[in-house]
Amino acid sequence: MADPNPTPVATPPAGSQPDRNGYVMTAIAAAIAALHLYLVTFTPISDLRIGALHFASFGFLCALHYSLAPRHARHPLIVALDYAAALLAVACVVYLFVMENALYARSVNFIASDWLFSIACVVLALEFVRRSVGWAIPLMVLAALGYAGGLGQYLPGVFHFPGLSAEVILYRSYFGPDGLFGSLARISYAYVFLFVIFGAFLASSGASDFIVNLARSATGRLRGGPGFVAVAASGMMGSISGSAAANVASTGTVTIPMMKRAGFRPEFAGGLETAASTGGQMMPPIMGAGAFVMANYTQIPYATIIGVALLPALLYLLSVACWIRINLQKYDIADIEDDTPRFLQVLAQGWMHLLPLIVLVGMLAADYTPEMAAVAGIASIVVVSWFTAQPIGPVRAIRTLAEASRTMIPTAVLLISIGIVVNMLGTTGIGNTFGLMIDSWSHGNVLIAIGLIGLVSLVLGMGLPVTASYIILATMAAPALSEMIVHGHLVSAIAGGDVPQQLVTMLQALGVAGADGLGQPMGHAAAATLVDQVPAPMMGQVSDQVLSAGVVTTALLSAHMIIFWLSQDSNVTPPVCIAAFAAAAIAGSRPFRTGFEAWKMAKGLYIIPLLFAFTPFLSGDVGTALAIFGWAAVGLYALAGGMSGYLESRLNIVERVLVLACGIGLLWPMPWYGHAVALVLFAIVFWRSRRRVQPGARAADQPQAGAPAGRRPV
C-alpha cells in the first residue's frame, strides 16, 4: 500500500494482481461489498462474527490481489500458495463459527485444532498486512505479542511485565471480543468501508469532475487561480475520499499541471497539492478513519465530532492559501486561467451531485447512525446518477462495488491487525505507563506534552500509516493529555473563584493548604499549587463539582483531535511524506524538495492543535468557535508572512519580528481587545508593505530558467 492513509488510492499498487482473476474476482469483490451493506443494515449476527466475516472477505481478496511474490505472481507455485492463503482465511472464520460455543463449553481450554486455527489466523493477518502495507505493522504486532508473551519480564522498571501464556494471548487475539475481530474491525466494516463505497459511487456518478470544475469556477479567475483551485478542490475531494494520497492522485493530475503552466515551480506545485490534500483528510464528513475511531474511543457522537471539526479544517486550508498569496506577491505571478468555467453554469449542470452529501449530512444531523446515513447516501447517489450523464446501472454498480472492495483491502487488513496491538497495550498496561511518562516528562505542562506527542508521532509516521499512528498514540497518550487539559481548566476555574461551597468545606476538612481562600479570586500559581495538593483519589470528584460535563467532554475530544492532527505529519514531513512523493511523481519534481515545500506550507498541522488545547475551539459553541476562527485566520497569515519575510513586499527585520509577534498574539488565548491590538499592528505593517509595491520590481522577481515567458516561478 503506497498510501499511509486509511483509504488507499484506487489504482492497484505494485504487486497487486487485478487482472489475474478477471470477471470472477470482480463478481466476488462486488458480492463482498453487497454482503457488508446487508450485514451493517440488518445486523443478523453478533459484531464478533461480522468482524470475522470481514477478515475472511478481505483476507481472501488480499491473498489474490497482492501476490506473495509480485515478481513471480504467475508462477504456478506462487499462485497455489496465494489461493491456499485465501482459502485458509475463510477456513479460520468457519472454524470460529463452528467451534466458538464448544470452546466455552470446555471453559476456554484449547485443544489441538484451537491452537492450529488461532495461530494460522494471526499469521495470516500479519502476512496480509505485510503484503498490502509493508513490514512496519507486522513488526509492531510481533513486538506487542512478544512483550505480552514473556519478553517484558526482561525489561526493567515500569516496563517490566511477567508475561501471559500463549493460550491466553491466542484466545484474546482470535476468539476474544477485543482482538482481531473486535472494535477496530467493527470500525472498519461498519464505518470506513461504507464510506469508501459511498465515495466510490460518488466518483462513479461523475461527482469528482464536478467538484474540480466547481473549484475552478469559484477560484480560477483569481490571480494565481490554479493554486487556489488546488486548495478548494482538495478540500472538497478530501471530504469524500478521506485520503491524502488518493486526493493527490485524483485532483493533483489536474491542478499540478495547471499550476506549472501558471509559472509555479514544480516543487512548489507538488508541495502545495500535498499540503492541501492533507487538509482534505481532516475535512468532514469522512476524515479518513479518524472520526470513526475517535467516536469509538471517546463515545462522543460521530455527528458531534464532524460538526466541531469543520472550522479547524477550513482554517488549515486557509493557512495553506496564505502561502499562495505571499508567493504570488513575492514572485509577481499574475496568471489567470483563460478557460475557467462559469460558477453558475457548473452549478446548474451538476448541482444534483450535492444531493447525496445533503442526504448524508442531514441524516447525521437528525441523529441517524453513520451506518444508516452512509447506506442512504449510497442509495441517493444511484437515484441521482440517472439525472446525470453517467447513470449507475447494474453493470456500473457491480464494477463500483468491486472497486470499493479492492480499494478497501489495505485499510481492512490494517485495522484488523492493529486490533492485536491495541489489545496487548490494554492487557499489559503499557499504554497507561506511556501516559504516565508523558505526564512526568512534561511536568504537567500541556504544551510540552503536545511537543513530546508530536515527536513520537513523527517517529511512528516513518513506518506506520496515519490511521495506525493515531490509534497507537490515542491508546497510549490521549487519557494523560485529556487529564492535563482538564487540570488546566480546573486551575483556571479555581483561580477565578468559581467554586461551590460544598467543595470548599470538603477540602478544608481534608486539610488542603489554601482551601480557606477558595471561592475568591486568586493567582494562577496559587490555584495550581492548591490543585496539586488535592489527593489523587479525590481529583475526579473535585473536577465534577467545579467543571461542567461539557468542559470535560471537550477536553477529551481536544486530546484526541490533537493526536489525530499530529498523526497527519507523515504526509508532509520528510523523509516519509508518501503523499508528497505521489505529488512529486505527477509534478516531475524532486521528492524530498517537494516534501519540504509541503511541510513548510502545512505549519497549521502543528499550530491549530494548540487552539484545541488552550481555547474552547471544539466546545460546540458556534459563536465562540467563529471568533477563534477569525482571529486565528489572520494570525496564521501573519505567521506565514513573518516566516517567509514577505507580505505585499519584502519585510525588514523589525517588521518581520513585529509580524511574527502579531501572529502569536492573534493566536494566543486572551481577551478580544488584546487580539484587536495585534490586528491593528498587523494591518499597519501590511499597509506599509503594500505601499512599497512596485509591479515588476520586486526583490524576489528575478528570471529563472525554465519559467514560462513573462512569468516568474514560485
User: pLDDT digit string (tens) for 522-574?
Assistant: 777 877 877 777 777 777 777 878 888 888 999 999 999 999 999 888 788 77
Would 362 be classed as within a structural domain?
A: no
With a CB cutoff of 8 Å and minimum separation 6, the contacts of 135 are none
125 plus 33 within the same structural domain: yes
Three-class secondary structure of residue 161 per DSSP: coil
2 plus 124 within the same structural domain: yes
Would 127 be classed as within a structural domain?
A: yes
Q: Percentage of residues in the chain with pLDDT exceeding 90? A: 41
460 plus 423 within the same structural domain: no
How far is CA 461 from each of CA 9, 433, 466, 562, rounded to the nearest angstrom? 18, 21, 7, 15
| Per-residue 3-state assignment (H helix, E strand, C coil) for 310-333 | HHHHHHHHHHHHHHHHHHHHHHCC
* DSSP H or E stretch at residue 252: helix 244-262
The domain boundary residue, chosen from 428, 461, 491: 428
Would 298 be classed as within a structural domain?
A: no
What 163-166 contacts at long range (C-beta under 8 Å, 24+ apart), as own/partner pairs, is: 164/427
> Which residues in the chain land under pLDDT 70?
1-21, 220, 224, 241-242, 333-339, 463, 513-517, 575-576, 694-714
Would 203 be classed as within a structural domain?
A: no
419 plus 502 within the same structural domain: no
Q: Which domain holds residue 511?
A: 429-563
With a CB cutoff of 8 Å and minimum separation 6, the contacts of 29 are 61, 401, 402, 403, 405, 406
The domain boundary residue, chosen from 395, 428, 461: 428
Would 553 be classed as within a structural domain?
A: yes
Check residue 233 and give its pLDDT. 83
- Residue 649: count other Cβ atoms within 10 Å of its Cβ: 19
Would 466 be classed as within a structural domain?
A: yes
- Can you tell me the distance from the alpha carbon of 226 to that of 335, in angstroms, rounded to the nearest whole number? 9
pLDDT digits (tens, 9 = 90+) for 226-271: 888 888 888 887 777 667 877 787 788 888 888 888 778 899 889 9
453 plus 558 within the same structural domain: yes
Would 155 be classed as within a structural domain?
A: no
Residues in the chain: 714
422 plus 485 within the same structural domain: no
4 plus 134 within the same structural domain: yes
455 plus 488 within the same structural domain: yes
Check residue 66 and give its pLDDT. 93
Would 302 be classed as within a structural domain?
A: no
552 plus 670 within the same structural domain: no
422 plus 440 within the same structural domain: no
435 plus 536 within the same structural domain: yes
Helices (H) and strands (E) in the chain, counts: 31, 0
- The two most distant CA atoms of the chain are separated, in Å, by 85
- Structural domains in the chain (count): 3
Q: Which cell numbers in the block locate residue 379?
A: 442509495
The domain boundary residue, chosen from 533, 563, 593: 563
Tell whether omega for the bond before 575 is within 30 degrees of 0, i.e. cis: yes
pLDDT digits (tens, 9 = 90+) for 265-313: 899 889 999 999 888 888 887 777 778 889 888 989 888 998 999 999 9
131 plus 21 within the same structural domain: yes
